[in-house]
C-alpha cells in the first residue's frame, strides 16, 4: 500500500536557525499537502502542491514538490518560537485516501 515517510522525526534548533523536513512517498502522488500541529492542537492545513517541480512560499516557509512527484520538502528560514510544532506531509493519489507521514517535531531554543 501507499506509504509516506518523513524525516527527521525530531529536530531541535536555536531560534534564528533554519529547519528542513523531508517527505518521501513509495508511489507517485497526484498532490502533496503540508500540515502543522501545535502541541495539544489539531493538524492545520498549510499548503497543497500539485505540479511536478513546484515551489511555493509562505513568508519564511518554502515548500517543494519533486520532479518525480514522489518527494517533497518544507524549509523554514530563520525559525521563530511560533514555529514550534509537528509538521506533517500527506500524500494523495487521485481520489484515494490522504496518507500522512509520521511528522517532524520541531522544538526551538529561544
Decide if residue 90 touches other proteins (CB under 8 A). Answer: yes
Which member of 87, 103, 106, 108 binds other proteins (CB under 8 A)? 103
Measured between alpha carbons, how far is 4 from 9 in angstroms, rounded to an integer? 13
Measured between alpha carbons, how far is 66 from 77 in angstroms, rounded to an integer? 20
- Closer Cβ to other proteins, 14 or 95, answer by number: 95
Measured between alpha carbons, how far is 73 from 70 in angstroms, rounded to an integer? 11
Stretch that binds other proteins, among 13-21, 36-44, 61-69, 75-83 (CB under 8 A): 36-44
Stretch that binds other proteins, among 17-25, 55-63, 71-79, 88-96 (CB under 8 A): 88-96
- Closer Cβ to other proteins, 3 or 80, answer by number: 3
Residue among 46, 54, 37, 48 at smallest CA distance from 91 = 48
Amino acid at each position: 500500500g501507499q506509504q509516506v515517510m518523513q524525516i527527521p522525526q525530531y529536530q531541535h534548533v536555536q531560534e534564528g536557525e533554519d529547519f528542513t523536513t523531508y517527505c518521501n512517498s513509495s508511489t507517485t502522488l497526484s498532490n502533496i499537502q503540508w500540515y502543522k500541529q501545535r502541541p495539544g492542537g489539531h493538524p492545520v492545513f498549510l499548503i497543497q502542491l500539485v505540479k511536478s517541480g513546484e515551489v511555493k512560499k509562505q513568508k519564511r516557509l518554502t515548500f517543494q514538490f519533486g520532479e518525480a512527484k514522489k518527494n517533497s520538502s518544507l524549509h523554514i528560514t530563520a525559525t521563530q518560537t511560533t514555529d514550534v510544532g509537528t509538521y506533517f506531509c500527506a500524500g494523495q493519489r487521485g481520489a484515494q485516501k490522504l496518507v500522512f507521514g509520521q511528522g517532524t517535531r520541531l522544538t526551538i531554543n529561544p
